[in-house]
Amino acid sequence: MIEVFHNPRCTKSREAVELLKSRGIEFEEIRYLDDPPSAKVLRQVIKKLGIKPEQLVRKKEKLYKELDLDAESFTDRDWIDVMVANPKLIERPIVIQGDKAAIGRPIDNIVDLLDS
Which residues are known catalytic residues?
10
DSSP string of 13-78? HHHHHHHHHHTT--EEEE-TTTSPPPHHHHHHHHHHHTS-GGGGB-TTSHHHHHTTGGG----HHH
- Cis preceding-peptide flag for 8 (omega within 30 of 0): no
